[in-house]
Each structure stands twice: as structure tokens, then as C-alpha cells.
Amino acid sequence: MEKIELIFISFSGISHLAATLEIAKMMALRDRRLSITIIIIKFPFGSNPTLTSDSDSIRFVTLHPVEVASPGTTEFAIMFELMKAQIPQVRDAVREITSSGSSRLGGFVLDTFCIHMIDVADEFGVPSYIFCTSGAASLSFNFHVRFLHDNVGLDLVQFKNSDAELEIPGYANPVPVKGIMVNTFIELEYNAIQSFSNIALPPVYPVGPILNTQAEWVDASGIMSWLDDQPPSSVIFLCFGSWGSFGGDQVKEIANGLERSGHRFLWSLRQPPPSKTGSPRDYVNLEEVLPEGFLDRTVKIGKVIGWATQVTVLAHSAVAGFVSHCG
């Protein structure tokens, strides 16, 4: 039986890596011909999670972090430049993986942050597929904004602090890939998924929900104990991903909104990185950033924590709603 090699390349955020591993496991389980290599790109800053798998069809290749001379001025620009700088290492890794001739290279599956690697796939003469770890609505929004900039000529800065409402019809710009896999399912995002059918673009495949339900959180007892004391379906959980953080003014606005709402809440609050090449971290003293007396006034209805494993919290019967970023 001929083996077919798939190369997965993921953004290094834990939520991206976890979803990438889960879809790789699912594909390897469904087709025993597949041999999957997940290439892990380390950044020169922040934490770099470690992945493991009990599947003999999945292996990991970790690349060394690289530095770039002028990484850009925004977080996204920095990440894209660092990814682009990894192209030579990715090329060498794929060449080594395929050198034995034991399997045929079938294609690349790329995170939305790793689109520079399409060029590497083209060099090897294989197709690329995009794996979007967020939902279809997020995908639609991101590319419609790009369409407004490239095709309509709108200066998107004008929407800063604006109350303008935009209609998001769907994915507006084709990309040179064979297909787009999205971590969602049609019953959840029917309208967003259907919006793609009227646009000339690669096929969009809803492949979710892809979840790691076995995720563990070290020392979660305090949080779970607090949730155990709350009525069923009463708590709003606020968590904005492994890279999500807010400045002082935004923290105070969210805190005021939570307090005025009177609803029970669990808030995963993280401190912005000290520089653009850093990653968020937990606050040492929450009282320094929250409104004065906030913790005392909300002690009976709310709890502010640091980083949390979302699956563990969302699975609890006390949680009724989720406020998050696009992830």
C-alpha cells in the first residue's frame, strides 16, 4: 500500500496547534495510507507549546526560531515576517522528509497565518489547503475587509472608533489553494458557509467541530470549585485566546460593563506583552489594572483569573455564555 505524506504547518499558538493535531489525528484514523508530518515553527519570543501523539502515522518536526532584521511595527506584521523567514528551513525539512522515497508527497495543509508556505508547496509540485482554526464567520469577515481595501479602495483607518455597520457577504478574494478547511459545522454557521457558494473561490469544507476534549489544566481545582458553587447556566465566561490581552482603559471598560450587568462571570484577564515581540502574561496584581474596589464589589458574582484552558471551563454546567475573540 502506497503511503501518502501530508505536511501540516501551523501557527505556534496553542489553540492553533491543538486544532491542527486533532484534524491530523482524524485524517490519519480515517485513511491508513496517510503519513502526516506536523512542522512546528518556534518563535524567538513567548512560550512554544510541545505536542505529542500516540498515533504512529503522525510525527513532529520542530524548527529553530529565527530572527529578522526589521520585523514590522504591528504584532501581525511581526508574525508574518517571522513565518516568511522560515521558508528555507521548511523547504529543507520537506526535502529531508521525502528523501527516503518511502511515501509520496501529497500536499500541504497550512494554517491561515502560514500562507507564505504556498510557495514551498508549489516548488514541490503539490497542492496547498488552508486550515482555518476559527469559524466561517471569522473567515468571511477577514477576507471581506481585505476585499474592501484592495478592490473598493476604502481606507480602513476610517472605521476606527466608528459606529459604521458593514454587511459581510462572504469570502471575497480567491487564493491559490485547492481548498479551505474550516473548523466549524453547517448547523452552527449555515448562513456564513452558504455565503461562500456564490463566490468564485476554492471549495470550503466545514470539517468541525474539532476539539481536544482531553485537555488538562494544571491546578484547576480553585476555578472548578468556584464554578461548582454557581447555579446551572448562570456564568458568562470571558477568554480571548492565548494571544489576547487588553490595555488599562479597555480592562476598565469591560469591568464596568460586567459590574453593571449584574451577571455572574468568570474572566480570564491577561497583561499585554512588554514589547511587540513578546506574548501576553498573567497579571501579578489584578487590583493595579481593575477599577478600585471592583474585586470586592463583585466577589459574590464574579471571579477574575489568569490563563485558562477553554474546553475545561466551557464543559462545566454552570457556564451559559462565552465572550471571546474570533477563535
Give me 121's grid cell.
Answer: 508547496
Residues 12/14/20/21 CA torsion (nearest 10 deg) = 120
> What pairs with residue 323 in β-bridges?
238
Reference 269, options 241, 296, 291; nearest CA is 241
Q: Which of 16, 144, 150, 263 is catalytic?
A: 16
Count Cβ atoms below 10 Å from residue 176 Cβ, excluding itself: 12
C-alpha–C-alpha distance, residues 2 and 155, integer Å:
51
Question: What is the Rg, in whole angstroms, of the alpha carbon atoms belonging to the chain?
Answer: 21
Q: Which of 31, 56, 92, 111 is catalytic?
A: 111
Reference 305, options 213, 207, 226; nearest CA is 226
β-pairing, 128-132 with 179-182? Answer: parallel
| 149 annotated active-site | no
C-alpha–C-alpha distance, residues 83 and 78, integer Å:
9
| 56 annotated active-site | no
> What pairs with residue 134 in β-bridges?
none
Reference 32, options 7, 58, 59; nearest CA is 58
- Which amino acids are annotated catalytic? 16, 111
